[in-house]
Amino acid sequence: MAAADVAYAPPMKSGKAGFEAGLMDPQHRIRITLSSRSVKNLEKVCGDLVKGAKGKDLKIKGPIRMPTKVLHITTRKSPCGEGTNTWDRFEMRIHKRVIDLISTPDVVKQITSITIEPGVEVEVTISDP
Amino acid sequence: MGGRGGGGGGRKARNFATFRLFPRAGAADPNDRVFVRVDNNDYTVPGFADEDSFDPSLSDPSAGDGNFHSASGPLPEHVRREILELGLPDDGYNYLSHLRELRPAAASSFVPSSTARPEPLPLDVKAYDASRVRVGPSDGELDEGKTMCKVAAKTAPVRRIEKAVDPDVVRLLDESDVSHVGSEDEGLEEDFVIIANRAEGEELEEEDIEEWNGVLSDVEEEFDFEEDEPKPRVRRLLDEQFDLLALEEYGDSDDDDRVVKDGEYELPSEAIDELKLFQSQNVCVDEEYRTPADFVRQKVDSSTTDEVDESAHVIKKCAEYAERYLNETAEEEVVVLVSESSDESEVWDCETIVSTFSNLDNHPGKIETPGIPRKRLPRVFPGETTTTNDIIKLHGKEKLPVEYLPQRRRNGEKEKKVKPVEASVTDKFKKGAEKETKEEKKARKAAVKEEKKEARKAKKELKGLYKSETQKAQKVAAVTGPSSIRLIYCGKHFGLFEIMT
């Protein structure tokens, strides 16, 4: 793949001219799934990851926002059966973002170890390119 | 996506690996996370989460995590210092890995318990329990080495000293078994001074010795407290120094024959003679108070002529004595003044002293039985929410101040109400908000109606019960108060209201 790149030299984004050297062999498709209950933290982590990956000149498919899952719980307010029947409607929102990269697993480990935010769950799926 | 071979039949080839970031087990920092494999596929990704000793700091030195992976070799200095500070041994093992930091939310401020064991000794103090050491008179044997051995044999190091609640009490409690020797004899005779000075013999002094012995502490009990005790052993430099000091402080007291003990001193012989005289006179105490002048002027009940004479000369004699006393002090006779320690009177036994804390500082409460909780009128009157506080509104046919009376809940009727309502719960939700309020209203109104019904019933009962009270009170009022006062009985409130006309 490295040789093909050099010969073909497809139009790529700036910053990727010196691509041939420094390529380690096992390039994988990596999917990072971030999920969280708070949007702010999630967006922050996403942004950091994307920035980090771009800084290392990786091919990245930007944060894909999955639809938010809203979990509902509806209960009676009263602990006993007495009283006017009022109900509580609780909800929990789960936000999910997906980032696709093509790189080596080491690099990914680096990136994900730096950006750390509480409450954000990170899942990494590595597959053959 | 690449890697998905397979045709229509089989499952798609699962050649991917999924890792999730988990916080490291036992880690202090919640941000310290590792990748853990969460699927069961065969696909391996070397170098992602395979090793046991996964360390992000190793792969990326710029991460600056601070985790040091050094199983062998000396620990870095700051780690060692921290371990030592915590009191853990410095043996090359990183005990810090077993420590966990308290989260700020979880850890409230640390409050030491007041009932805990007493503090251990500070590091620069060593305590030894020397209660078993016998300090006794050993003839001629004052070899420093031997004494030290003896002492060392009996002492035991003690790791913490228990501070007594009240040192006086503890000290006295310690002596409790010894100090009761003379407690029965505490009542002094009327003329104890005379008796004490009259008996010059050894016996009385022996008695005194016994009494004093009882008050002394355990260690000193070892002494055979005799007259000639003071110098049984070889004099040391310390003894010389002590004697010099004693000389300076207390004057000439080198007499070995007349041993001076605490609280006991010998009166000058003139005083003794006078006292003897006095005792032989058989003075009886009359009801009336008489001065010497009475004897002289009024000649009242004087038994002896001596008395009259003496009374006349009392003043003269007093002056004489005073002069003599002054002269004596000028001549520096031996007058030993000893501060009244009076150990006998200060011995407290367990029955009389409970604590040496005074009520000025210590305010113990009296233990009482809990009273019956009495239901009173509610402090915050529900009627106060209205603007005017001065007007008490009377409602209903009976003109009662409804809002000022204690509300009582009726559980019986609520049960009736709940059942029919439950069935309509699901309906409510289906139909929506509008219909719900109608149902709610109906239910509420029904509840109120029920309550009022019950209230009426109860009131009728009560009225019947207390009818006689009204008549009685009216009788009383007829006798005492003005006739314009008419008393009526009001239902809920157990009292009678007056109607002022």
How many CB pairs below 8 Å do chains A and B form together?
81
Whether residue B258 contacts residue B266, with contact meaning beta carbons closer than 8 Å, is answered with: yes
pLDDT digit string, tens, across residues B163-217: 556 667 767 777 765 555 555 556 667 777 778 787 765 454 555 454 444 444 4
At A35, is the pLDDT very low, low, confident or very high (cuts 50, 70, 90)? Answer: very high
| Predicted local distance difference test score (pLDDT) of residue A41 | 93
Structure tokens at A15: 């910053």
Contact status of B24 with chain A (Cβ, < 8 Å): no
A127·B3 Cβ contact <8 A: yes
* Between B30 and A70, the higher pLDDT residue: A70
Beta-carbon contacts of residue B295 (< 8 Å; ≥ 6 apart): B302, B307, B308, B311, B312
Q: What SS3 state is found at B244?
A: helix
Residue A102 phi/psi, 5° resolution? -125, 110
Nearest chain B residue to A33 by CA distance is B20
Instruction: Using pLDDT thresholds of 50, 70 and 90, give the confidence band for residue B53.
Output: very low
* Subunit contact B17:A121, Cβ cutoff 8 A: no
Residue B228 has, within 13 A of its CA and on its CB side, a CA count of 2
**pTM of the entire predicted model:** 0.30
Distances (CA, A) of A12 to A18, A53, A129, B388: 11, 16, 19, 83
At residue A46, the pLDDT reads 93
Min Cα separation A110/chain B (Å): 7
| CA atoms of B351 and B311, how far apart (whole Å) | 47
* Chain A residues close to B38, C-beta within 8 Å: 123
Residues of A in contact with B43 (CB under 8 A): 126-127
User: E strand or H helix at B80, and its extent?
Assistant: helix B77-85
Where do the domains of chain A lie?
A: 38-127
Instruction: Provide the pLDDT for residue B56.
Output: 43
CA atoms of A4 and A10, how far apart (whole Å): 10
**Closest CA–CA distance from residue A88 to any residue of chain B (Å):** 12
- Summarised one tens digit per residue, pLDDT across range B83-128 is 888 888 888 888 888 887 766 655 566 666 666 566 667 778 888 8
Highest average pLDDT, of B41-45, B349-353, B380-384, B488-492, comes from B41-45
Ranges B78-82, B383-387, B397-401: which has the least confidence? B383-387
Q: What kind and span of H or E run contains A75? A: strand A59-76
Kindly report the nearest CA distance between residue A121 and chain B, in angstroms: 7
| Cα B248 from Cα B244, distance rounded (Å) | 6
Residue B252 has pLDDT above 90, yes or no: no
Q: What's the pLDDT score for residue B335? A: 62
Q: Does the beta-carbon distance from B2 to A127 stay under 8 Å? A: yes
Is the pLDDT score of B144 beyond 60? yes
Confidence of residue A104 (pLDDT cuts 50, 70, 90): confident
| Min Cα separation B454/chain A (Å) | 19
CA-based nearest residue to A60, from A12, A120, A94: A12
Higher-scoring residue by pLDDT: B64, A102? A102
Average pLDDT over residues B489-500: 52
The 10s digit of each residue's pLDDT in B431-443 is: 555 666 888 999 9
Write out the DSSP string of B187-211: SPPTTHHHHHHH--SHHHHHHHHHH
State which fold the A38-127 domain adopts.
Alpha-Beta Plaits (3.30.70)
Do A106 and B31 make contact, defined as CB atoms within 8 angstroms?
Answer: no
More confident residue, B390 or B239: B239
Q: Are A111 and A55 in contact (CB under 8 A)?
A: no
3-state helix, strand, coil in chain A (%, to 5): 25, 40, 35
Residue A48's SS3 state is helix
Using CB atoms, which residue from A26, A85, A116 is nearest to B425? A85
pLDDT digits (tens, 9 = 90+) for B418-435: 455 554 555 555 555 566
Q: Which residue of B has its CA nearest to A27?
A: B45
The answer to ipTM > 0.90 is no
Residues of A with Cβ-Cβ distance to B66 under 8 angstroms: none
Contact A85 B2 (CB under 8 A): no
Asked if A109 lies within 8 A of B38 by C-beta distance, the reply is no
pLDDT at B229 over 80: no
Q: Mean pLDDT in chain B?
A: 68
The residues near A100 (Cβ < 8 Å, ≥ 6 apart) are A29, A30, A31, A32, A60, A61, A64
Mutate to test the interface with A, among B18, B19, B29, B37 (most CBs of A within 10 A): B19
**B361 confidence band (pLDDT: 50, 70, 90):** confident
Residues in A lying within 8 Å of B, measured between beta carbons:
26, 28-29, 81-82, 84-85, 87, 105-106, 109-110, 112-114, 116, 118, 121-129
CB contact under 8 A, A128 and B45: no
Residue of B nearest to A117 (CA): B31
Q: Tell me which residue in A85, A118, A127 faces B428 most closely, judged by beta carbons.
A: A85
pLDDT at A31 over 80: yes
* Calpha distance B312→B451 (Å, rounded): 101
Residue B298 has pLDDT above 60, yes or no: yes
Residue showing tokens 């792969």: B59
Please report, for chain A, how many H helices and E strands are present, in that order.
Answer: 3, 4
Predicted confidence (pLDDT) per residue in B448-474, tens digit: 999 999 999 999 988 888 787 878 887
A28, A106, A121 ranked by CB distance to B59: nearest: A106
**DSSP code of residue B386:** S
State the smallest CA–CA distance between residue B29 and chain A in angstroms: 11
Inspect the interface and report whether the beta carbons of A113 and B425 lie closer than 8 Å: no
Q: Chain A residue closest to B437 (CA)?
A: A84
pLDDT digits (tens, 9 = 90+) for B311-322: 677 788 888 888
Chain B residue numbers with beta carbons less than 8 Å from the beta carbon of A29 are 1-3
The residue type at A114: I
B35 at A interface, C-beta within 8 A: yes
Give the one of B45, B60, B443 whose C-beta lies nearest to A126's C-beta. Answer: B45
Specify the amino acid at residue B254. Answer: D
Q: Cβ B3–A87 below 8 Å, yes or no? A: no
Average pLDDT, integer, range A70-95: 93
Contact: B18, A123; criterion CB under 8 Å: yes
